[in-house]
Structure 1
């Protein structure tokens, strides 16, 4: 049974589309393909990553203050023992991800630096106030 997808993708160049029927992967079959479990595991892993990404994004966008959005974003990144966090994106990309204006993001990071919460240089942030991320 075929259903129309609510997702539409426009290709910028000539593209070949591969349609996959996932029913055989999800249905129990005695004489299935030996790679079925690997493909199923990979599919579920990618779906899980997507769900985690969307959950994190919802947590960020639910914050009513920019400082709280920054905090939730930083909490989701690995922190080195010296308090260093390497950002996954540049300032413009981070502003887009947090759904804020780039200048507002820069202004708030500057305030946080003046208040002794963090310092930043490019894509490296040092957390100075360990309480900031724990609350």
Structure 2
């Protein structure tokens, strides 16, 4: 199973109910053997789309470009040594963050000068680990 990138903090004590949808979706009684797989695929894709939109809304709600960059980098898997691989180029990232490409490049340059990160192409190394902490 895949770890969920969603975190929920409860204000009071709660009980968590984990539901396994596989038995529901993968019933053998279906008249069409492909129906369950199509249903499972659609639900999985809907979940991914909902997660993507939720993450994008969180990013765009940030007033500062640095905070948008931080949230985007927090979504990426960190390799040993604090290395990340951006899944898009600068132009695409600027579009995703809804900022001008030159503004993004300027902010990334500042962050590199401040010793927060180092980058080469789509490879980013986090130099200040506290930057990605919540």
TM-score normalised by structure 1 residue count: 0.76
Give runs of aligned pairs for residues 1-135 of structure 1, distance below 5 A.
32-135=31-134
Q: CA RMSD in A?
A: 1.5
TM-score normalised by structure 2 residue count: 0.77
CA distance in 2, matches of 1:31, 1:87: 42
Deviation track 1:69-109 (CA, whole Å, cap 9, x = no partner) reads 00000000010011110000000100000000000000000
The total of aligned residue pairs comes to: 108
Q: 1:105 to 1:128 in 2, by over 3 A?
A: same
- SS of 1:132's partner is helix
Deviation at 1:32, TM superposition (A): 2.3
* Largest Rg, 1 or 2: 1
CA distance in 2, matches of 1:54, 1:60: 10
Unmatched 5+ residue regions in structure 1? 1-25
Unmatched 5+ residue regions in structure 2? 1-24
